[in-house]
Amino acid sequence: MKVLAFEDGFDIEALLTSSGIDMSEIELIQRWDTTDFLDHIRDFSPDILLLDHFIPPTKGLEVLQQLNIAVAADKIERPKIIVGMSSASMANERMVQFGADHGIVKFDLPELPMWSKD
């Protein structure tokens, strides 16, 4: 499973590992800013895209909106799962309104069922 995370404040791999998630079959790339975000998404072609809402220079919600436009224009393939993750519940709800599959407080990320091999 390929995971691309746009998160500028916390090490996502450390968060998942410390919560007991088996990373042996997960290829995770973390970008600490959203510069050239569409290129990174296109080049890596993640199964799971994690978007922090408050990341600079382009907030996660705008990344999601631009991704939706690119997918609609057949310029990029949509990741199977998109997760809006922020410490603010309202921001997560907004991401879901714009097409994210999940909106979750980032520290609860390991609780999502997508990490389970079952």
What is the structure's pLDDT at 57?
Answer: 96
Q: What are phi and psi of 73, to 5 degrees?
A: -90, 10
Q: Is 8 left (phi over 0), alpha (psi -120 to 50) or beta?
A: alpha
What CATH number is associated with residue 52?
A: 3.40.50.2300
Domain count, the chain: 1
Q: What is the mean pLDDT of the chain?
A: 94
At what angle are helices 89-97 and 60-72 packed, to 10 degrees?
10
Q: Give the pLDDT confidence of 54-100 residue by residue, as tens digits.
A: 999 999 999 999 999 999 999 999 999 999 998 888 889 999 999 99
Instruction: Please tell me the chain's helix, strand, coil percentages from 3-state DSSP, rounded to the nearest 5.
Output: 40, 20, 40
Q: Give the pLDDT confidence of 14-35 residue by residue, as tens digits.
A: 999 999 999 999 999 999 999 9
How is residue 78 written in tokens? 């949509």
- Give the residue numbers spanning the domain of 83: 2-115
Categorize the per-residue pLDDT at 117 as very low, low, confident or very high, splitting at 50, 70 and 90. low
Q: Give the pLDDT confidence of 98-113 residue by residue, as tens digits.
A: 999 999 999 999 999 9
What is the structure's pLDDT at 88?
Answer: 83
pTM: 0.95
